[in-house]
Amino acid sequence: MDILNQLQDAFSLSADTLTKLIGSLSVILALWLLNLLAAQIINRRVENVRIRYQWRKTVSYIALVLGVVLVGRLWFAGMQPLITYLGLLSAGLAIALQGPLSNLAGWGLIAWRKPFVVGDRIQIGINAGDVIDTGFFKFTLLEIGNWVEADQSTGRILQVPNGKVFTETVANYTLGFEYIWHELPILITFESNWEEAESVLQDIIERHTASIAKEAEERTRRATEKYMIYFSKLTPIVYVKVVENGVLLTIRYFCNPRRRRSTEHAIWKDILRAFDAQPDIEFAYPTQRFYFPKNETQGHSITQQAKKSDQADSVVVEE
């Protein structure tokens, strides 16, 4: 009691207020120690990084809610008029603090509806990356894309306000099933044997996707149990289209969103080797052709005109 009296005199506090203050500090300290102990136990016993992170977050949220409830009961028991006043005050603050409250509501949506979880690859507005943390007011992305091609990491950390989930479209690369469609366009000349090229490309893409075909089909089947998802064709395919400067062959196939560049790299290497072995298949590239009447064409004049053309990548003269 002597200590309490000394504290009352030192801080000019009533006995009731001092008791509540000490009780609040005791609750906060106890919950902090319990949260710290739980985190240490989780770190020792859970090896999976993603599960470990989720458990630590869950425990910290529970500790926070308990702290608010217990401290609130200490301070507001029997204080109905004050609670009414605080209710009116909170209504005014809700208007003044739209941004933070919107972020807090966004956190509720993320925690409840789960448009994404830690570990997902998403795009929200112009920002894209892997979700590495979520909080009450913001979530954190490890950025991909931007100046780096093929959705690879830039190394930058993006802090995105939770309220963005209400105003921006959220595109999730991995929600439902962890595969996306990817396409590679290959342009060959009109003189090339396009049927042979189509066959070569079909063999290459089937070889590269054989290892994931069954898994992709199974994940798609599971996704249909929750979402209205339907793909009439899951196997890779080569589409043929005539464009103004050649025959366009487009490879379409399933791939892991985090391996888009590596699969594209491997496929292109095989395509280059295969086309190099086929004398009747040639890549198309920008060229200009000059046609001259037979009776006015001489080899020397043609050569001189070709040299004067600065814009031509190549000059082809047909008689």
Digit-coded pLDDT (tens) for 95-104: 655 677 788 8
The backbone torsions φ and ψ at residue 89, rounded to the nearest 5 degrees and listed phi first, read -65, -40
- pLDDT value for 145: 87
What CATH number does domain 180-276 carry, 3.30.70.100, 3.40.50.300, 3.10.620.30, 3.40.1130.10?
3.30.70.100
Per-residue pLDDT tens over the stretch 265-279? 999 999 999 999 999
Q: How far apart are CA 154 and CA 312, in angstroms?
A: 37
Residue found under tokens 């031509």: 312
Cα distance between residue 165 and residue 23, in whole Å = 38
CB 162, CB 110: distance < 8 Å: yes
Predicted confidence at residue 2, as pLDDT, reads 59
- C-beta of residue 265 within 8 angstroms of C-beta of residue 292: no
Confidence of residue 253 (pLDDT cuts 50, 70, 90): very high
Q: Specify the pLDDT at position 71.
A: 78
Q: Give the pair of three-digit tokens for residue 182.
A: 């990817």
Over residues 261-268, mean pLDDT: 94
Instruction: Tell me what pLDDT residue 234 has.
Output: 80
Residue 200 has which token pair?
A: 């070569």
Cβ neighbours for 186, distance < 8 A, ≥ 6 positions apart: 197, 201, 248, 249, 250, 251, 271, 283
Where residue 150 falls (left for φ over 0; alpha for ψ -120 to 50; beta otherwise) is: left
pLDDT (0 to 100) of residue 35? 85
H/E run at residue 56: helix 49-76
- Which one-letter DSSP state was computed for residue 283? B
Question: Confidence band (pLDDT; 50, 70, 90) for 190?
Answer: very high
Separation CA 146–CA 5 (nearest Å): 63
Judge whether 126 and 145 are in contact, CB under 8 Å.
no
The yes or no reply on domain 115-172 and CATH 2.30.30.60 is: yes
How many CB atoms lie under 10 A from the CB of residue 159?
11
From the number of C-beta atoms within 10 Å of its C-beta (0-12, 13-18, 19+), residue 280 rates as: exposed
Average pLDDT over residues 206-226: 81
316, pLDDT greater than 70? no
Tell me how long the chain is.
319
Q: Which of 42-46, 179-183, 214-218 has the highest mean pLDDT?
A: 179-183
Q: What is the pLDDT of residues 125-166, one digit of tens each?
A: 999 999 999 988 899 999 998 888 778 899 999 999 999 999
In angstroms, the CA 315 to CA 302 distance is 10
Query: In this structure, are residues 149 and 261 in contact, taking their beta carbons and an 8 Å threshold?
Result: yes
Q: Where are the domains of the chain?
A: 2-96, 115-172, 180-276, 288-317
Mean pLDDT across the stretch 217-236? 76
pLDDT in tens, 17-72: 777 777 888 888 888 888 888 888 888 877 777 677 777 777 887 888 788 778 77
Structure tokens that stand for 232 in this block = 């009439």
Q: How far apart are CA 3 and CA 194, in angstroms?
A: 93
Which pair of structure tokens corresponds to residue 184? 């590679």
The tally of CA atoms less than 13 A away on the side-chain side of residue 293 is 2
Strands 288-290 and 315-317: parallel
